[in-house]
Amino acid sequence: MKRFLPLLTLSAILCSGCGIAALTPVLVFDEPELTIYQIASALTGCPESILRGIAFAESTYNPDAIGDDGVSIGLCQINETFHAERAKKYGEYNPWCPLDSLLLAGRLYMDNIKVLKSQRLAITAHKMGVTGAKRGEVTWYVERVLTRGKA
């Protein structure tokens, strides 16, 4: 996928109200392709390195991973016990879809930053939830996310 999503959005804004019935995607050639990590970061505000680190720490980048006796699913090991609650808050998602998994992880991280006021605790909350993170960080997990996210 070439980098046309921002231009498509921009063209939608510029064309609104001018009577054009359909949008025409604008392709920009010679631009690097965006990764799912870059897309999720741009859409959620979560740093790309954190998303990469979570994906590594949770599944070693395996979108087909299943953990916690089938409860945690996908790239970011989304705990499906809370699916209904999260779908209501963030919109429906598919935990098997790598982009959906990253988008949800990014949204959760950004919400956790607001509540916990700490990057390390927000990362811990992906592993243990906000209540668990309030008891203290899981140092080995945080270090794994931060180290592998930079690689």
pLDDT per position as a tens digit, 56-78: 999 999 999 999 999 999 999 99
Whether 125 and 133 have beta carbons less than 8 Å apart is answered as: yes
Q: Is the pTM of this model over 0.85?
A: no
CA distances from 124 to 15, 31, 35, 129 (A): 44, 35, 25, 7
Is residue 9 over pLDDT 70?
Answer: no
Average pLDDT for the chain: 85
pLDDT at 124: 97
**Residue reference for tokens 């690689």:** 151
Residue 146 and residue 49: Cα distance in Å, rounded? Answer: 7
